[in-house]
Structure 1
Amino acid sequence: MGGRAQAAGLEAFNGIGLRPYAPGHLSYDIDAASDISLRWVRRTRVDGDSWQSTEVPLGEDQEIYMVRVVVGGVVLREDIVAAQSWFYPQTLRLADGAGNDFKVEVAQVSDRFGPGSFRSLWIHV
């Protein structure tokens, strides 16, 4: 009986275990001036399974996030922020050409890995 030999291989993924999780509970509010306030909840890979604390530990040297505004697959704006929120005034949104329907993406940034997984949300003004 003839058979095919099976090839075995080993693959490594550099630092994938260091990639930050995507932020959770991404949401937004629009005020009377059509300014947008975006907010999210930090997630962590380090000691984040405790039910005892109100907020998970950072697990990074600093807390920073990358926020992108995307229309039609094109990134119109990319900001780095140091809080779990971002403000996008109407004047800046119109100058960017974002219009009334666009996608916002948020990722936590690690000094060791770079931006982690993005969480996205469609905004309709």
Structure 2
Amino acid sequence: MKLEYDQNPDSSIMVLENDRRWRIEMYLKANEDETYTLVAMSGIATQPAELSKLQGPYQTEEQAQAARSAIAKQLYAKGFQPLRQHSIWQIQAQKAIQNVRQTRKASQGDYRFHPDDVL
């Protein structure tokens, strides 16, 4: 996928829907280490999200926005249209990013040197 850098990036939530009422919401979430994760939730608009995908980490917010724009471009080609509605799955997206943060924190190693470790 080629990143699509926007001239006027919008860091808010992107909401798309097709004629079958399948909805996709994409969020950019900051991680604890100044990287960004792209969270995509999808499902029927009147129900909780059925699918979620996470992509990243991206080193800058601009890279994450470019990835989101490239994905949106592909979705436009498949009949999705942007909506000016509010997010309905933001709490589910927040839970997904919290799981990522907890997993990353649990996986961190302690690489500090202490002389007693080598004796």
Q: Flag the structure with higher strand content.
A: 1
Higher radius of gyration, 1 or 2: 1
Normalised TM-score (structure 1): 0.29
Normalised TM-score (structure 2): 0.30
